[in-house]
Amino acid sequence: MGSRIKMTLELPLQLKKKEKWVVASCPALDIISQGATEDEAKRNLAEALHLFFESCIDRGTLEQVLKECGFEAVTQDVGTETGPAPESISIPLYLLSKFDEGRNCHHG
């Protein structure tokens, strides 16, 4: 059986009341959802974000999509803004390797 890993992504979250709906968005990735309550809107956004990452991983486009959203890899935390911390949402991703644990996955 292959290796299993879990990653948790901490993403910025914005909530806005629009008439009878609460709109939840992750502006960094331009993903939006809604719900009748804040909790429902957050759950729906979490599901949309999870499906977004799952789809990108399945299609092999995660790096390209993140670059198109303006992201680049850094080797350490680049610091935080001063002032109150922005609200965020945690998205767990579970991955299972198709390869046996002893197999090297790096090429070259």
**DSSP type of residue 25:** E
CA distances from 33 to 26, 75, 87, 100 (A): 9, 32, 16, 38
Q: What is the domain count for the chain?
A: 1
Average pLDDT over residues 3-20: 92
Lowest mean pLDDT among 38-42, 55-59, 69-73, 95-99: 95-99
CA 16 to centroid of chain Cα atoms: 20
CA–CA distance, 71 with 87 (Å, rounded to integer): 19
User: Is residue 77 situated within a structural domain?
Assistant: no
37 located within any domain:
yes
What is the CATH classification number for the domain harbouring 33? Answer: 3.30.160
- Phi first, then psi: what are they for 32, rounded to 5°? -135, 145
What domain range includes position 20? 2-72+87-92
Domain assignment of residue 50, yes or no: yes
In a domain, 55, yes or no: yes
- pTM score above 0.85: no
Residue 97 lies in a domain: no
Beta pairing partners, 4 = 96
